[in-house]
A = this chain, B = another copy of it.
């Protein structure tokens, strides 16, 4: 399943990049395949449960950094037919060229 997460700590000032990079460290530690973009991080996970555990760890790490409140947005694209990040982009790009 392909998902995108955006983690927005609140109450820690205007600059959030150190919190976002800490979240990426958790993702790396878990060995999850990811792709960073300017508005979020796209991941490949097997289930919402796996995603939930990952988000709890990220939330703990950011709380330890002092974040009193964290706003999170998740977009998920579950599909019975197996797919991955590369195929999704490739399918669109092929149609763009046609």
Contact = CB atoms under 8 A, between A and B. Distances in A.
- For this chain, the copies found in one complex come to 4
Nearest to A6: B75
Interface in A9-25: 10-11, 13-18, 20-21, 24-25
A7 to B, nearest CB: 10
B17 A71 contact: no
**Residues of A in contact with B, size category:** 35 or more
Contacts of A92: 17, 20-21, 24, 36
A59 B48 contact: yes
Contacts of A75: 6, 39-40, 71-74
A35 to B, nearest CB: 6
